[in-house]
Amino acid sequence: PCFGGRSLQRHVATAERADVPCEIVRSVRLGFAIDTAAPTHPVSVIAFDFDDFKQVNDRHGHAAGDHILRTTTALIASSFVRPEHLFARVGGEEFVIMLPDTAHATSVRIADELRVTFAERTFPWQESRIALTASFGVATALSSADTPQALLARADELLYASKREGRNRVSG
């Protein structure tokens, strides 16, 4: 690694303020967290995607879809994400949450709490209420030998396993 400790954190903070593409910032922050990964300091990633989100846009319009994304991300950020976590949109309606120093079982429990939160509520839009579910994949690094790309790929594979197995579930 080119940067160590605080200087890396300053580099990432500068990149975030300078509007560097999210993928670069996300990779750097995840890489920094993985550098400290060990069995006693696991780094977990929750990847999730809203199920059949295209139907929301097709049925209610893109403004409704955008409203739901803003509402759900605000809910996640205020209720599930701590300051040391990284919560980022990967693309479309897919998101990741990086949880440093979080055991795999705890990360699976958090993902399931999110899943239940979405499944049990509806989101108001104009004259209607829109129901929404999500599928999740959870992967954990226990060693600094892992790479951000490998950890994200494992979480993504598990997310798509949830989709194949019927949606509205957590795999990991």
> CA-to-CA distance for 40 and 76, rounded, in angstroms?
26
> CA-to-CA distance for 104 and 117, rounded, in angstroms?
20
Question: Residue 27 has which token pair?
Answer: 């990779």
Phi, psi of 89 (to 5 degrees): -85, 130
State whether residue 49 is helix, strand or coil.
strand
State whether residue 137 is helix, strand or coil.
strand
Query: Which DSSP category does 32 fall into?
Result: H
Residue 93 designated active-site: yes
Estimate the crossing angle of helix 62-79 against helix 104-119, to 10 degrees: 140
Bridge partners of residue 134, in order along the sequence: 50
Question: Could you say which of 93, 94, 120, 127 is catalytic?
Answer: 93
By the 10 Å C-beta count (0-12 exposed, 13-18 middle, 19+ buried), 102 is classed as buried
Active site residues: 93
